[in-house]
């Protein structure tokens, strides 16, 4: 079967990137983390002082955009792509709480979305990619051959995020993480431009009780069925 586009959208920390990476590896596709791009803009704005105490210098942020150059590079140790901001590997920094606390607001800025979406479409133009985010199936690639909408119980999502941050040596309380997830879900589903909603043709995957292997099996079966219906 010729290469397809796979769009995975869903709530914060519901394991989109874990399943997307495994899926990309098993298909020999590239994995693109679109959330990492919005996180890079947020990190850059924080570093440049355009976000202070959760208030945003909207015009400053827009002026900074031409300076934001993003790319992804495969990391043979982690076997996945690392995110680079102006040539610097920022994979770890963009996952910090300070970035998580500000990224949803940054992603509501029209000019930010226009720039990120243009990069995402360019990356997907030859297909053969798995991209995760919030508006991939609804807006970035409305014609993607396979669309998944992922969700999971909020306590399970919080625990996963807590374990992930602890493993990286970042100690944040369970409640703080949970509040951040719920706040981001609210902002991402209620923003005006490209909010997180399930595309009509997306398949829901609630992975609260599923292992990584079970999720992968479920998706690979969908792809097999797709192949049969296309050929």
For ligand DC, the binding residues (CB under 6 A) are 12, 34-35, 38-39, 103-104, 107, 133-136, 184, 188
Cβ closest to ligand DC, residue 64 vs residue 230 = 64
Q: How far is the CB of 227 from ligand DC (least distance, A)?
A: 27
Best CA proximity match to 58, nearest among 116, 106, 114, 118 = 106
Cβ closest to ligand DC, residue 31 vs residue 38 = 38
Cβ closest to ligand DC, residue 107 vs residue 207 = 107
Q: Are 178 and 100 in contact (CB under 8 A)?
A: no
Residue 50 to residue 24: CA distance in whole angstroms:
35
Site of tokens 């990391």: 75
Residue 187 to residue 181: CA distance in whole angstroms:
10
Q: Are 41 and 35 in contact (CB under 8 A)?
A: no
Q: How far is the CB of 176 from ligand DC (least distance, A)?
A: 16
Best CA proximity match to 136, nearest among 82, 91, 196, 190 = 196
Residue 82 to residue 70: CA distance in whole angstroms:
11
Q: How far is the CB of 48 from ligand DC (least distance, A)?
A: 19
Q: How far is the CB of 206 from ligand DC (least distance, A)?
A: 18
Residue 209 to residue 215: CA distance in whole angstroms:
10
Q: How far is the CB of 112 from ligand DC (least distance, A)?
A: 9
Cβ closest to ligand DC, residue 136 vs residue 202 = 136
**Residues facing 9 on adjacent strands:** 133, 149
Q: How far is the CB of 220 from ligand DC (least distance, A)?
A: 23
Cβ closest to ligand DC, residue 11 vs residue 29 = 11
| Cβ neighbours of 212 (radius 10 Å) | 13
Cβ closest to ligand DC, residue 91 vs residue 135 = 135
């Amino acid at each position: 079967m010729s290469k397809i586009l796979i769009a995975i959208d869903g709530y914060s920390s519901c394991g989109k990137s874990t399943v997307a990476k495994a899926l990309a590896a098993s298909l020999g596709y590239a994995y693109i983390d679109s959330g990492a791009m919005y996180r890079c803009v947020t990190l850059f704005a924080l570093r440049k002082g355009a976000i202070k105490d959760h208030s945003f210098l909207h015009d400053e942020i827009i002026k900074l955009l031409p300076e934001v150059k993003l790319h992804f590079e495969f990391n043979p140790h982690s076997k996945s792509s690392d995110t680079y901001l102006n040539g610097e590997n920022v994979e770890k920094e963009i996952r910090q709480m300070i970035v998580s606390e500000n990224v949803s607001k940054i992603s509501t800025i029209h000019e930010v979305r226009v720039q990120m979406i243009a990069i995402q479409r360019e990356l997907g133009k030859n297909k053969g990619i798995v991209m995760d985010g919030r508006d991939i199936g609804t807006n970035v690639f409305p014609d993607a051959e396979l669309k998944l909408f992922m969700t999971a119980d909020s306590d399970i999502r919080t625990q996963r995020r807590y374990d992930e941050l602890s493993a990286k040596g970042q100690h944040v309380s369970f409640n703080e993480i949970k509040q951040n997830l719920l706040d981001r879900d609210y902002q991402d589903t209620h923003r005006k431009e490209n909010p997180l909603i399930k595309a009509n043709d997306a398949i829901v995957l609630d992975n609260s009780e599923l292992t990584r292997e079970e999720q992968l099996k479920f998706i690979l079966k969908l792809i097999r069925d797709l192949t049969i219906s296309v050929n």
